[in-house]
Amino acid sequence: MAIRFVTGNEGKVREAREYFDGIESVEQVQYDYTEIQSDSLEDIAISGARETFEALGSDDPVIVDDTGLFVDALGGFPGPYSAYVEDTVGVERLWRLASAEDNRRAHFRTVLAYADEDGTETFEGSVAGTLVAPRGKGGFGYDPIFEYNGQTLAEMNTEEKNAISHRGRALAEFVEWYADREE
Ligand code: ITT
């Protein structure tokens, strides 16, 4: 049995692979589920995972990862709209917007929704940091402008980012639950 990671974002899959070694194989699947309009990462992830599991018509479980960057001084913007804002405004301009503020604190939050024939479970993780002018070539998305402990996430390798990141924490919680369940 393979777990199907439903995403068009290869960066997410690269980070997830480290966690699945030893428990299960993970396969990237692209499926254009309906992204519901909601302020809640949970609702978006659960609805996407449920819809995809039903639509793909196989017993293999699916995982959807919904992530947002929440900037304190901007009232949590772009939050659940982070993908849209990256595509329209872009990372560099979001940094310029935040750089006008005294408070540069922000956090990433990930909700993973797992769906199989028994139902849906969610796992979450977050990391707090500071927004900075872009640095680093690794990672993806907003990583170059998000600094944690003196380094941007784009200056870390996958292992280093996973050890402290929103997604790493959600994945660690998920694999622990999944391994217990299989026993
Ligand atoms: P899928 O929906 O196909 O999984 P996506 O990239 O659209 O891919 P999200 O809606 O979860 O996924 O992503 C929200 C935005 O946040 C998007 O612009 C990502 O590039 C960015 N993002 C997600 N995880 C990130 C991370 O770990 N570091 C930096 N940016 C991230």
**Angle ∠(125,130,136) on CA atoms, nearest 5:** 90
Q: What is the DSSP letter of 7?
A: -
Examine the pLDDT at 147 and tell me if it is beyond 70. yes
How much of the chain is helix, strand and coil, in % rounded to 5? 40, 30, 30
Q: What integer pLDDT is reported at residue 182 of this predicted model?
A: 65
Q: Whole-prediction pTM value? A: 0.96
Mode of pairing for the β-strands spanning 2-6 and 25-29: parallel
Distances (CA, A) of 9 to 4, 21, 64: 13, 19, 11
pLDDT band at 25 (very low <50, low <70, confident <90, very high): confident
User: Domain holding 73: CATH number?
Assistant: 3.90.950.10
Q: Which domain range does residue 70 map to?
A: 2-182
Q: Is the CB of 48 under 6 A from ligand 1?
A: no
Q: Please say if 66 is a catalytic residue.
A: yes
> How many domains does the chain fold into?
1
Query: Position of tokens 């901007």?
Result: 74
CA of 10 to the centre of ligand 1 (A): 10
